[in-house]
Amino acid sequence: MNPTTFVLFGATGDLAKRKIYPALYHLYIHGKLPKSFAVIGLGRKELTDETFRAHVKQSLHEFYRLDVKEDDTLRSFLDLFGFNILHIDRLEHFVQLKERVESWENGAGGAANRLFYLSVAPNFFGTIATQIEQSGLGSVTGWKRLIIEKPFGHDLASARELNSQLSQAFTEDEIYRIDHYLGKSMVQRLEAFKQANPVIQALWTSRYIANVQITADETVGVEDRAGYYDQAGAIRDMFQNHMMQLLMMLSIHVPNTNATAEDIRLKKKNVLEALEPLARQDVHTRIVRGQYAAGAIQGKPVQGYTSEPGISPDSKNDTFIAAKLNIDNYYWRGVPFYIRTGKRLKSKNTRIVVEFKEPLRSSAAAEDTSVPNLLVFEIGPNEGITLQLNTKDPNHKGEFKPVHIDMFPDRIEGQEAYETLIDDALNGDSTFFVHWDEVDLSWQWVQPILEAFEAGEVPLYPYAAGSHGPEAANALLAQDGFHWWFDEPSEHEAANAEEGRKPVEHVTAS
């Protein structure tokens, strides 16, 4: 088995301890790491290997989702880890790292593979890639790969500059851009679900679908990310990457189940190329931006955004974005896609709702009492697929009532996002990583929004913490005759009662 070295920049950082070490441990205990495997952690403080291993062990006890047993398995896992001091502006540190890696590889034998994981601030990506190249650390007898975290740039120009820097040391096929939403099991099952259900696949066009809603609501505020978030906002932190990826994954049409990573990339690229461009003068008609004010989350009072530690009292940063997008292709022409994401909202939920067109009604009674048929993909925190259909109400002649059919009743414990994505990167499967074309095209679509925000051409609506966001987001759909579908059953029941509809009946598909 050829030796594989996992070179981790930012080894003492928050992401490493919360996500990367638990993911590696999970892969190890399930036999998914290469047989000859080593992790070299890097940081600016000098640590011994033993101290570093203790740090990794503590991270597992704090953040691994299952109990960590003090046994030989844990000890053998920790033995994989070593630490080197590294300042990214010092080439000699990269040379020392190269010597240590080569010493281990020579002892293991075989063609050597190296996976570089940059768990550091994006402004260091270019420098690190250059140093890897100049030090010879990137010269391998096997394969080399680079994993980087978002954000991939701050705008279109910076994204292109970053990609140019990385391309000096790595080819596109060697760069694995992580978007952890693509590692979520429900997102990865979207296409498989359509392939396995020909009836759903046949309905996956503008002929039958009225609109699509993609939501990622958070109850948390800015937390300890003030320095980053006040420069990024919801538009950069969530919309340009996570939400656009969900849009692509839902709307692609893959002809068969044997699609390759390149097939998926091409289909996603085609979706972005078919997005109707948003001119700067039209941004205010298609985009709603908001900022949370004081309010209450689950009955507990919380302060507004501009009162958060590290946030300027006069900050105009967005913590909420709602948008209307249109895909101008054969399948989706005429179907509005609505996207919303924000902080300090009423509930924590990531979901996709596909609202089907209502058939021709045969009576006024049906018109008054029926509700649209919905296909709902629950992505987090809970997973599920629910189909809401209308059926005749036996107790009310001529009327209809909605029935929820649970199409995913058996919950199977799967890998978490980072476990899946690191596993894929080690195996060279780039299907659920972000290609440069996707980064570039998404920034092209978002760039006019950034410019309009910067020029103050789009209102910043305040919304109370614990609400569903600014009222303007509701108006965005209302002008097309639609409304947002939220996740609280009590709200749906209240809405149904107000409009004379029947309560929803829940059943499970067998």
Which residues are annotated binding-site positions for substrate? 180, 184, 218, 237, 343, 348
C-alpha span between 68 and 24 (Å, rounded): 13
Do residues 325 and 275 make contact, with C-beta atoms less than 8 angstroms apart?
yes
DSSP-assigned states of every residue in 191-234: HHHHHH-HHHHHH-STTTEEEEEEEEE----STT-HHHHHHHHH
Which region, left, alpha or beta, applies to residue 3 given φ > 0 means left and ψ of -120 to 50 means alpha? beta
CA pair distance 41, 136, nearest whole angstrom: 18
Find the catalytic residue in 93, 242, 468, 492. Answer: 242
- Rounded Cα distance between 131 and 126, Å, is 9
Secondary structure of residue 363 in the 3-state scheme: coil
Distance CA 467, CA 487 (A): 13
CB crowding 69-102: b at 16 or more within 10 Å, else e: eeeeebeebbebbbbbebebeeeebbeebbeebb
Active site residue 492: no
Angle CA(241)–CA(243)–CA(245) in degrees, nearest 5?
65
What is the distance between the alpha carbons of residues 59 and 211, in angstroms, rounded to a whole number? 43
Residue 495: phi and psi, rounded to 5, are: -65, -40
- Catalytic positions are 242
